[in-house]
Structure 1
């Protein structure tokens, strides 16, 4: 059985802000044990809904380029706890969706 969490491995080598890797890991944890949906559209909707729930931010309507979330602060510098919404829109979520497409097409 293909799992949604398979999409999260490996982690990206580039992040937007310091909170991004923690969001990645929190999303993966939230999706543990869930089978990969049968279509790319369903996967994308699931990932966006999970992001929105984890970050407590509607990625579709939030206009700020980034948000701060205390739960992702680990004492690691100036952007600690900050989630780069633009990076999630342009690279991180598309990476997960592309990985799903590869698995579903292959």
Structure 2
């Protein structure tokens, strides 16, 4: 699973996003890629929810603040949920789809 996280995106939503990306990679480093895209998607969403302590599907706010991802800067510690929904999780899922079909 950790192969899905390399390379890191060039663009993030807020300053906490790269730290979430890295925490998710760390959580999934020992796991093999599940055999279906649906299973990968469920695993990624569950990992995000656990790492950020937020139900991405249920949370209506565009962003949340998490102290553990605060490492300096104006939006430090802020995780942009909309970017995770629209770009970052879909990127990981597309990478898994490519690996599973190739």
Does 2:50 match 1:57? no
Specify the SS of the correspondent of 1:67: strand
Shift of 1:96: 0.1
RMSD: 0.4
Which residue of 2 is the match for residue 42 of structure 1?
39
Q: Distance in 2 between matches of 1:87 and 1:79?
A: 14
Q: TM-score, normalised by structure 2?
A: 0.99
The match for 2:4 among 4, 7, 22 is: 7
Q: TM-score, normalised by structure 1?
A: 0.95
The match for 2:85 among 83, 89, 97 is: 89
Q: Distance in 1 between matches of 2:100 and 2:75?
A: 36
Q: List alignment gaps of at least 5 residues for structure 2.
A: none
Which residue of 2 is the match for residue 68 of structure 1?
65
Does 2:74 match 1:78? yes
The number of residues matched between the two structures is 102
Q: List alignment gaps of at least 5 residues for structure 1.
A: none
